[in-house]
Amino acid sequence: MSAFVCPVCRYPELAEPPRTDAGPSYEMCPSCGFEFGVTDDDRGISENEWRRRWLAEGARWQSTAPAPPGWDGAVQALG
């Protein structure tokens, strides 16, 4: 199984590519909470704006599932 990188926070384990020629995946990134096709298309928030907000709010893990061991959102996004 291939994993894909979130263009917002660089989380490396999305199940689907965020966007293809067919459109958005509608997958929500468990790290930053950006939902491709909803956050951007429906709510009008760009990936850059979401990243800025997420980092400003402490880059917290957004999923109810536990974060991977050693996960650090700010390091991941800025690394």
Residue 9 zone, left/alpha/beta (φ > 0; ψ -120 to 50; rest): alpha
**Nearest in space to 76 (alpha carbons), one of 20, 18, 29:** 29
Band (2; pLDDT cuts 50, 70, 90): confident
At 1 the pLDDT is: 61
pLDDT in tens, 31-69: 999 999 999 999 999 999 999 999 999 999 999 999 999
2-7 long-range contacts (CB < 8 A, ≥24 apart) are 6/31, 6/32, 6/34, 7/47
Instruction: Report yes or no: 32 and 21 within 8 Å, Cβ to Cβ.
Output: no
